[in-house]
Structure 1
Amino acid sequence: MILIIGYGSIGQRHYNLIKSKEWGVGVVTKREFPYENFFYNIEEAIRTLTPNVIIIANETNKHLQTLRIIDNENFKGAVLVEKPLFSEVSYKYNFSSFQVYVGYNLRFHPLMMELYKLIQKEKVLTVNVYAGQYLPEWRPGTDYTQSYSASRQKGGGVLRDLSHELDYILWLFGDWNSVVSNTGQIGDLDIETEDSVSILLKMDKVPQVQVMLNYLDRSTERFLIVNTFHDTYKLDLIRGKLLKNGEIIQEVHITRNKTYEDQLLDLVNKRQYLCTFDEAVQSVNLIDKIEKSNREGKWIKNE
C-alpha cells in the first residue's frame, strides 16, 4: 500500500502511475477526491492503511512538518519526498525509523544514466547546464500566479523548481568547493519569486561549471554540455539526444511519465538509484549558498 500526501499536479501523476500498476493507493488531501482511500488527516491515513511506502507531494514548506508527523506515527517503511527536500537548510534532521529519498527523477532518464557511465573515467574540464521554460505554459489549465512556483512562502522560485539540475550536477561530478551567483526577477511575470538564476561553480572534479535556470524561455530548452580532455558530450533532454563530438550516439524518445515510473519501481524494489536524504541535504545546502552569494555579491565556500 502506497500513501500519497498532497494531490496537486505531481501528486496526481504519482496516483495515476500507481493505479496503472494496480497497486493499493491512498491519498491525503484537502481537495475534493472522488475515489476510495481518501483522507484529510495524515495520522488517520497511516493508521487505517498501514502503508509500506509514503510519497510526500505537498508544498515544499510543509515537507519538514509532514516528515515529523510520519515519524510520530512510528512509520517503518520508505518515504519519497518531492524535490526539493526542504525550503531552508537550517533544520535538524533525525528520521532514523524510516528511509527518506527525494524525487529527483531526472537521474532515471536513460540518457542521463548513459552519460553517467561514459564520463566515469574521463577528466572533465567544463560543464554548461541550461534549463528554461516559460512559467505560464508550464502547467496547462492552471493559473501560474496561484502556483507554488509563484509563491515565496510556499518555497517556489526557479532555483528550487529546477533543482533537478543541481542534483544531477552533484550526482555526476561530486561535491562543490565554491559558488557565485546572480539571481533575480528580470522578466514581467506576476510572481513573488526569482525567474532567473545564473550560477558559476568550482567543484572537486570540475574546474568550471556554469548553470542557467529560468522561467522565461518560450522555446523550452534543457541540456548540458560536458567538455573532457578527449571528448565533448551534449545531452539534450527535450529532444532525447546524446551527442559525442557532434555526432548522435544515442537517441531515446520517452513519455513524460517514464522517469517517474522508473523512480517509482526503484522505490518499491531495489532503491538503487534514488536520491538519498543526505544527497538531497547537499542540494538544499547548495541552494542556500547560491542565495547567500547573490545577497552578498561574492564567492561562497562550501564549509
Structure 2
Amino acid sequence: MALTTRPLYQQLSRNITAYPPEEAREMAFMLLDHYFGLRKADVLADKPLPANRTEPDWFRIIERLNRQEPIQHVIGTTIFCGLEFEVSPDVLIPRPETEDLVRLIMHDFADQTERPVRVIDIGTGSGCLAVTLARFLPQSDVTAYDVSEVALAMAQRNADKLNAEVTFQKQDILAVAQQQVGTFDCVVSNPPYVTRSEAAQMDKNVLDYEPDVALFVDDADPLIFYKAVADFAAHNLSEAGVCYVEINERFGEATKAVFDERGFQNVQIFKDIHGKDRSVRATKN
C-alpha cells in the first residue's frame, strides 16, 4: 500500500482507462483532494498520505468511473464558484460556463447597495445559481423555482450547508409564465436547451447519468423555456430589471429575438471562453 501521494496518484491515473490520460490525471487529483484533502501541490511534492485516513473502496470507484459515471456523482459533490455543492443524478451537474452568469450579475449589480437585490432563479436544480448569488451578492433577496421536489430538497440542503438564505418554491415556469407573482430586479435561468437531435453527439456520462428533464427540449420548439422565462420576466421584473439566461450556442440570435419581440432593451449575446454563444442579457424597458 502506498504511503505517499505520488504512487497512489499514478496508480489511480493508470486505472482510469475510459478517459484520455489528461482527463484521468485530473480525476485522480480530484479523488485525492476529496478523500484526503490533498491538493495538486501536495501530490507533486509526494507528501505522506494522512496517517489517520480511511481508505475508500478504490476498486469500486475506478469501476464506476470506467463506466463513465460522472466523477461528481462518484464523490457526490462539485465545485461551483469556489463553493462545494451536493449533486446527484437528480440534478444537472453545474458547468463552469454557468459561472459566467454569476460573474455578469455580480458585475451589473455591484453598485446597488441602497436596498436588497431581488433575484429569482428559474429551474434551480442543485441551487448553484441561487445559493451563490445569495452568498456573494450584497443584500440579495433570492427566490428559486423548480418543478422537481427532489431537486428542491437538494438545493435546500446546499443552501443550508453554505449558509445561504434562499426561498425555494415548487413551480413550473410553463404554468406561471403569464402570471404576476412579485417584483424582481433580476431573473436568471439556465433552462433545458439541448434538442433531442443533438443527443447522438453527446457523451455517455451525460446521456446516461444526468436528468433528461434538465437537459432536453423538443426539436419542434427548442425555445419553449426561453419564451416562458421572457414572458415571466416581462410580467415580474422591476423597471429597468434585467433577465439573464444561459443558451444553446446554436440559437443565440433566435433567443435574442425572443426578448426583442417582447420589448426588452439592450438585448446582448455573450460568448463563453470557447467563443461560443452562451448567454443572453435583456433589460426591461
Question: Do they superpose with TM above 0.5?
Answer: no
Give the greater-gyration-radius structure (CA): 2
Q: Comparing both structures, which one devotes a greater share of its residues to helix? A: 2
Q: Comparing both structures, which one devotes a greater share of its residues to strand? A: 1
Which fold has the larger relative contact order, with Cα–Cα distance below 8 Å and residues 6 or more apart in sequence? 1
Q: TM-score, normalised by structure 2?
A: 0.34
